[in-house]
A and B are shown apart, each in its own frame.
Chain A
């Protein structure tokens, strides 16, 4: 499709405000003004509507397609949540209104949402307190590791290292580094943490272990109680990456089993839409001993039932968000939790795990599935001998289904990672199974057909090497 800029027609206007009485040059000296107006597109409202409607049709999405993208929890995003976030009593609320009179007098409804959502997340995870400030999962990881660092500093502990299993998301080591730690990687055995490998690297300089549980292979860490005990011995904390929380709601609470920090992804587990890569929200929950270090401000409930913002936390790590976090996303997650209730959340996890296990069993003879045990809400498979994960993924796109996550985790060869989520029905799963059987068969009989896929998508395989070499990142970076 032509870009907006290619369609631009000088002098054409869309939704512009009335003409001002004075222009900038009447009010400010030329030395403060830009030489020419920014070359933004000049289009009619209909031009713009056609353009973006056209672009939208080039996307696969949960609304349009089965999207079994592992580790991303692409569940259905209920439409009524958009209503909740769009209420003018929330959208028109300036964040600084809370700083006038009584630290929150004019924003009681918003503060109540924050406070109640924090309470709900505490009950779901068994943690003692939550901050909603982190603006995405990785931002939550960073916050969590900063809390761990603040705890050790406060205790006078000299800690320099964080242990991360090789199956972890790339954000884990990146977040730990950003928070000032050296990363120690440990290999897994049979898909889970090997207690011996852990023992080998565990010393007094270890600040924490970052764990994803169930891990990115979709497996539950059976050695969890031993791991908790080992870490306690050296005063190292245990971090829970909540990317996979959709597997365990109502089945295990990370606070009960000894985790000190957890980040959740509201845009995964709690059904808020992914938006093509955000905005997300990555609340962080902590055990008792980390509460003093949480970011400010904190919302507190007073005796009379009103809510107030408190900034008086001398040990706080500071501000993670400019204000309270991605509030518009909280509203959606809050609405989702109210709608499902405790029983609904537990059911969501049960059916997420049922769907994953059903799909795993049905695909056993089609793909190579490395771990002969029940999986949680997702599972990994390897492409059958002679076929590549990438080609299978591209063939799926041709058949109207989004691909699973490919080549992650890095430790599984030709990896395809499926996460069907609880919101897909049995027919959809069965169709995926037949479709994959057909793809594998095609791949064996006519390998070229897979290498050529996709052919029915808006574009076919794109040259990524050329993109990196030519580096055309804007309309103005000419070839």
Chain B
């Protein structure tokens, strides 16, 4: 049997020592009426057979396309050293570092990850990760509930709708109120957000860049929130964050992000990585694992999981969160990715995407009937309005091997003609040229 090393003789010898006759005798506690009614899985396959089955399943997905899809999840180049290092068995096959003396590799990496996240987001403290950007947003809301003892969240409709749906699922039994402030043509309605933040509000939640790609400065909103005793929570995209005004500079209390674009492949939705960072005063409200620096009995520097009194294995029903396993290996990948790119590499990545998008939009908006959704500043993602259904256009072009962007009508009412276009450093001039030509000819033909 695969991965079972016992020979027949060993099995017999071991059964003798245990004092039973057969392997099934070990399960005497499970009475006959509790035995399986069926267990009809196919016979096992050889390694070669399984691999070839997966080869054909992988080939059944359309990945041989040029794609301008983003919407929070981005296709960046991942340096090959990220795979080589993160797949080392010493990282891959270790568990949560409960025995710090033999887990310094994982623990120091978490400490370095926390440092990198804090420096990127310009915050004081970070945890070892949560599952993804959506669960990070939810945990930020829970932190705000505990900190302020209030039960209302005010959230901008420009926050990624996928994460907003998760937030409402997760808080369904929390006896709280979630106020969604409608977007204004794809930008934050800051006056309305400000008006909604009152003395019952636990936190105001915004996103930069917003879902439609527009950039903003939330400093004033966070100042107002503070004056009302509410927290400011901001969700960001990590690569753009390398050039954009930071959560810290805006005065945010908690910053969250999906770290997918820091070295995680798209992989059909996961595993991704939830980043969470906060001001020092809020550390004890933060969920999840946190590594801290200390020293051993000889005075040598080392790292441990710390502030564990917040966690479920100690506090049980009174813990800050139920999280146990997080996305440790993804956090390691993000750390390696950030180290290989460095500050210059990360900002170049952001800038190449921005440059490519400007190149694309110059041509796309010269197609009759195609306009920008708004005139807000943007980074490497922006929304355009088409003279036809964006879903229909995306469908037609995808058949020809080009995915022109994401039709936002799936998530926003009355926006069926709006297409969210993303560029990264991976797009070539030729690919952008072909996209523009295909769209021009499709739209001309369609009119």
Residue A250 at the chain B interface, CB threshold 8 Å: yes
Max count, chain A CB within 10 A of own CB: residue among B168, B243, B297:
B243
| Contact present for A273 and B92 (CB under 8 Å) | yes
Residue B178 at the chain A interface, CB threshold 8 Å: no
Q: A251-B30, A276-B332, A473-B126 are in contact. List 18 more A-B contacts (CB 8 A).
A: A34-B245, A48-B336, A55-B105, A56-B105, A63-B92, A84-B50, A89-B61, A96-B73, A124-B39, A146-B172, A174-B321, A256-B36, A273-B329, A276-B95, A276-B96, A342-B42, A402-B99, A475-B115
Residues of B within 8 A of A302 (CB): none
Pick from A80, A98, A252, A351: contact of B34, CB under 8 Å: A252
Separation of A309 and B163 alpha carbons in the complex (Å): 19
The residue of chain A having its C-beta at the shortest distance from the C-beta of B288 within the complex is A277
Residue B11 at the chain A interface, CB threshold 8 Å: yes
| Contact present for A474 and B406 (CB under 8 Å) | no
Residue B10 at the chain A interface, CB threshold 8 Å: yes
Q: Shortest beta-carbon distance, B291 to chain A, in Å? A: 7
Interface residues in B65-124 (C-beta closer than 8 Å to A): 65, 67, 69, 71-73, 75, 77, 79, 81, 83-85, 87-106, 108-109, 111-112, 114-116, 118-120, 122, 124
Please encode chain A, from 189 to 211, with 1 for each CB lying within 8 Å of some chain B CB and 0 for all others.
00000000000000000000000
16 A-B pairs within 8 Å (CB atoms) are namely A3-B112, A12-B342, A16-B341, A20-B352, A22-B354, A69-B95, A174-B316, A252-B36, A256-B36, A321-B166, A354-B11, A358-B17, A358-B18, A402-B102, A468-B307, A474-B119
The residue of chain B having its C-beta at the shortest distance from the C-beta of A255 within the complex is B37
Residues of B within 8 A of A174 (CB): 312, 315-317, 319, 321-322
Q: Shortest beta-carbon distance, B267 to chain A, in Å? A: 4
Residues of B within 8 A of A278 (CB): 129, 271, 325-330
Interface residues in A140-189 (C-beta closer than 8 Å to B): 141-142, 146, 149, 169-171, 173-181, 183
| Contact present for A324 and B114 (CB under 8 Å) | no
Give the size category of B's interface with A. Answer: 35 or more
The residue of chain A having its C-beta at the shortest distance from the C-beta of B14 within the complex is A358
Interface residues in A64-102 (C-beta closer than 8 Å to B): 64-65, 67, 69, 72, 74-78, 80, 82-101
Q: Shortest beta-carbon distance, B97 to chain A, in Å? A: 7
Tell me the total A-B contact number using a CB cutoff of 8 A.
696
Residue B447 at the chain A interface, CB threshold 8 Å: no
| Contact present for B306 and A471 (CB under 8 Å) | yes
| Contact present for A342 and B105 (CB under 8 Å) | no
Residue B415 at the chain A interface, CB threshold 8 Å: no
The residue of chain B having its C-beta at the shortest distance from the C-beta of A101 within the complex is B395
Separation of A112 and B54 alpha carbons in the complex (Å): 11
Residues of A within 8 A of B346 (CB): 38, 40
| Contact present for A136 and B324 (CB under 8 Å) | yes
| Contact present for A461 and B296 (CB under 8 Å) | yes
Residue B221 at the chain A interface, CB threshold 8 Å: no
Pick from B50, B99, B379: contact of A397, CB under 8 Å: B99
| Contact present for A38 and B343 (CB under 8 Å) | yes
Max count, chain A CB within 10 A of own CB: residue among B175, B307, B345:
B345
